[in-house]
Amino acid sequence: MSRKWISFPRTEGVASRQAHCDLPEGTFERELGREGFFGPATHMYHRHRPTDWRRFEGDLKPRAFDTTLFAEFGASPWDAALLLHNARTKIRIWEMKSSMDHLVRNADGDDLLFIHEGSGHLYCDYGHLAFRDGDYIVLPRSTMWRLESDGPVRLLLIEATGGAYQLPDRGMVGPHAIFDPAVLDTPAIDDAFLAQQDEKEWEVRVRHRGRESRIFYPFNPLDAVGWKGDLAPVRVNWRDIRPLLSDRYHLPPSAHTTFVANGFVVCTFAPRPFETDPGALKVPFFHNNDDYDEVIFYHRGDFFSRDNIHPGMVTFHPAGFTHGPHPKALENAFEQKKRGTDEVAVMIDTRDPLEQHGQADAIEWAAYAGSWKAGENS
C-alpha cells in the first residue's frame, strides 16, 4: 500500500521564516529530521545551546577515537582493526607496512578503500591502477586484488556488506555536478599489469560470511589480457570533487554525498568557501538526525566545527541526541575569520545502529562527550 508522511507545516511562537538563516535574536536553532535530511523536519529555536548537557550516563553518548594509536597491523586487509559495524557495513582501519604478497577477495560485499596516507599501485582482475593519498577506490564484490606500496600506506576500509556502491541521484543539478563521471578512473591492462603475471604459486584469501578461506593457484590468477563491460573498480580523489555551494544557505551534509550503498551513505567534506550572506549560518547547524548514526573520519586540514580533532581521528554520533558545533566554532556562526574551509573528511551515515567493536575501546577519547562544555574541550 502506498503511504506518505503526515504533513502539516506550521509555525508556533518565535521562529525564522527560513531554516539556518536569520535566527531570532538570542536563539539557537535545532533541526529534528527524519530519513537523513530527506524526510519531514522541524526547526526548534532554543534559549540554550542544545549541546549544553551536564553529563551522559549509560552507553549512549558521543564518542571519538584516535586511530593513529593503532600501531600493530597484520599483512592482509582482513587483519584490519574493526571500529564499528552492523549487518550492512563494517568500518576498519589498516596500515600496510609493505607490499602484499598475496591476493584477497571479499565475497561478502563491495569494499571502499580511502587512502589516508601513502601511495602505491593496485593490481586486480581488471588491471593496474596507481593510487595516492585522498583516493577513493571502489572494489566490486569478489574482485581479486592486492596492493604494492611506495612506503607505509594507511587506509580507511568501508565494506558494503551484502550490497554495492552506487552514485547518488543528483536531481536538478544534473549528473555532472559534484564530480563528472568522466573523472572516474578504471584499471588498465598495461605493461605493469602484464609484467606481474607469472607461473609461481599464488594465494588468494577469500572472506565469505565473515570467515576466511584460502585458495592456491599454480600461477598468478591476475592473468587477464583484456576485458569489456561496465562493472569494474573505479577511483576518484577528493581533489576531483567540486562541492555544491550556496552563498545564502548552509547546505545539509546530504548535499556532499559521494557514494550510496544499502543502508548507508558516504559523504565527502572537501574545502569550500563559507557562506557570505550576513544572516546565513556559517557552521553546521545543531540537528537530531534520528534515523541515522553518524561517523566522520578526519583526513586533513583544520576541522572548523570541532576542537582538538586531528587527522586520523574518528567521531561517532549515534542517533538519539543532538549534535552540532563545539562552543569555540559556534563563536563564528555568522562571521568567519577565513574565506573558507580547508578540511577534508569522510562521513558515513548508517540507517541501522552501529556497534562499537572491542578494538575501538583502547583508542577512545573518553572525555569527548564533555568537550562541548565551554572551557572544558581539551
Rg of the chain (C-alpha set):
22
Q: What is the pLDDT of residues 127-150, one digit of tens each?
A: 999 999 999 999 999 999 999 999
72-238 folds as: Jelly Rolls (2.60.120)
Question: pLDDT-based confidence at 260, cuts 50/70/90?
Answer: very high
Q: Could you state, in order of their start, the residue ranges of all structural domains in the chain?
A: 28-64+244-369, 72-238
- Distances in whole angstroms, Cα of residue 28 to Cα of each of 31, 64, 355: 10, 25, 31
Nearest CA among 177, 194, 182, 184 for reference residue 137: 184
Of the listed ranges 36-40, 208-212, 361-365, 372-376, the least confidently predicted one is 372-376
DSSP conformation class of 328: H
Question: pLDDT-based confidence at 331, cuts 50/70/90?
Answer: confident
Q: How much of the chain, in percent, has pLDDT values that exceed 90?
A: 86
- Residue 206 has, within 13 A of its CA and on its CB side, a CA count of 12
The cell for 78 is: 582482513
CB 275 within 8 A of CB 282: yes
Q: What is the pLDDT of residues 17-76, one digit of tens each?
A: 999 999 999 999 999 999 988 889 999 999 999 999 999 999 999 999 999 999 889 999
- Tell me whether domains 28-64+244-369 and 72-238 share a fold: yes
Question: pLDDT-based confidence at 278, cuts 50/70/90?
Answer: very high
Average pLDDT score over residue span 289-317:
91
Question: pLDDT-based confidence at 374, cuts 50/70/90?
Answer: low
Residue 378: what pLDDT?
40
Average pLDDT score over residue span 240-262:
95
Which residues have a Cβ under 8 Å from the Cβ of 78 and sit 6 or more positions away? 104, 205, 207, 212
Residue 259: what pLDDT?
98
Q: What is the pLDDT of residues 177-199, one digit of tens each?
A: 999 999 999 999 999 999 999 99
Question: Residue 78 and residue 84: Cα distance in Å, rounded?
Answer: 15
Amino acid found at 209: R
Range 28-64+244-369 classified under CATH 2.60.120.10: yes
Specify whether the backbone of 109 is left (phi greater than 0), alpha (psi in -120 to 50) or beta: left
Q: Model pTM?
A: 0.96
Residue 377: what pLDDT?
46
The cell for 166 is: 552506487
Q: How much of the chain, in percent, has pLDDT values that exceed 70?
A: 99
Residue 338: what pLDDT?
85
Average pLDDT score over residue span 111-116:
98
